[in-house]
Each structure stands twice: as structure tokens, then as C-alpha cells.
Copies of this chain bind each other. A is one copy, B any other.
Amino acid sequence: MINVVVLGAGNVGQHLINAFIKADEVSLVQVYNRTLSHIAQFKQDTIITDDLSALAKADVYIIAVPDQAVHKVSEAMPRVNGVVAHTSGTTPMSVLSKHNRRGIFYPLQTFSKAITPDFASVPFLLESQAASDLLVLQDLAGTLSDKIYDINSEQRRQIHLSAVMVNNFVNHINYLAFNQLEKKGLPTDLLKPLMEETLHKLTYMSPYEAQTGPAKRGDEVTIRQHLALLDHDTNKQVYNILTKSIREHYGKKL
């Protein structure tokens, strides 16, 4: 049985709390939040507190607060026996206070309040200062997922950059594509099967092999027609730079 305290109840915090409550091998001994009312719903399942000096004993303390608050919360914690790990993709382990043993417990996924994540499919990126603490973090992550990776802070930063691309940038491009249709009163549902197949193709081939389209084949007529349909400067810039980037990778110049 692994004893855990979770600090913070944002999207990541709440989903981890709910998952730990359900996990047989985990005892969620306490949840901390600055604002007690935000964690009132966990009262039946664990002890809740807004007092950092009253933290319970645990094997792992998970700090799931916004990136810029991780340092402050870890500094404000008392000396504890367990390992103190944060859940941020970008923040190095070194921001954690030195007065406790440090670690990283980063679930690589996008979380929404309304959607209960399937942690079984979520990769957990783990790191620890002391080798023995990595085993504890591995055991804890292993109660939720089989996808466990030992990743140092520098690697995690690289992965977070790529995660921003495939999540934030891809979602924004989807938004721009939907927006173009909505402005013309056309149904965005039209695009869904194509979006699904775009992803599905990567089961069979690499994104490099999967690339198609006017930029790759150097189809200037279509590219010019598309640019004429975009009525916003930034949209034209997005189109141009992605077209340029594709051309650079496939060796076709305008």
C-alpha cells in the first residue's frame, strides 16, 4: 500500500485524486488545497486540509499546482519523510525546495474538468533525485498506468515542446479550419472523418510518409487559391509558413 498526499485540486490534481481513491494499492491519506471549499467533495474519501503545517505522513506528496506556484508550495511544506514530486511538464525538478527529497510525477496528457481521463493509457514521466525514490514513484504510477518512463528534466522539456505541438498547435489549426467553414455557414462535421483518418494513418506509417497535399507536391495553383480564400493576415502567415516548412522537408521549392 502506498500512502499519498495530493496538494492542489486543479484539473490534474482532481483527476489524480479521483484515480488514487479508486486504486486498490493506494491509500490517499490527505488532500491539501489553499481554498478548502474546492476540495470539500473529497471529504468522504480522505482528510482534507488547507494547512500545510498539518500535512499527514505519506510515502509520496504530489504537488499538482500551477507551474509558477510549485516552488512556493514546496518551500512552504514542512520537512517530510516521503518524496515530494510535482506534475509539471516544463518545470525542472530543481524548483522544488531542497529541504525535502525531490521527484517528478508528470502525466503526459491534456486534462479537462468535464472528461474523466483513462489513466491506463497515459504515459507517466518520472524522475527523482534519489534512486530509491524512483522505485516508489514507479510503483505509484504503476497503480494507474503501464506506460512508465524515466525521463530527466531536460528530456521532459523536449517532450513538453512536442506535446505543445501535437496538442495546442494541432488544436488551433483545427480551430482555424472549423472557423473558415463556420464563416461560410458550412458544417464542420464534414472534417471529422478526415481528422480521424489523419491520426489513424500514423498506425501504419510515419508522419513523414503520411504527408500529402499541395505544399508537398508543389501545387502552386491550389496554394494561391487557398491564400486568396484566407481573409486574415495571420491566417495567411500560418498557411505560408506551414507550406514553406513542408516544402523544405520534401525538397520542393516555389
Contact = CB atoms under 8 A, between A and B. Distances in A.
A112 interface: yes
B241 A122 contact: no
Given A212-B168, A245-B235, A112 B173 contact: no
Contacts of A157: 225, 229
A185 to B, nearest CB: 9
Given A205-B112, A225-B90, A159 B174 contact: no
A200 to B, nearest CB: 8
B123 A213 contact: no
Interface stretch (A23-31, A69-77, A130-138, A189-197): A189-197
Counted per complex, copies of this chain come to 2
Given A123-B190, A172-B211, A174-B166, A201 B112 contact: yes
Interface residues of A, number: 85
Contacts of A160: 222, 226
Interface in A193-215: 193-199, 201-202, 204-208, 210-215
Interface string A112-152: 10110100011101000000000000000000000101010
**Consensus secondary structure, chain A interface:** helix
Contacts of A197: 109-110, 117, 167
A101 interface: no
A226 B172 contact: no
B205 A178 contact: no
A114 B204 contact: yes
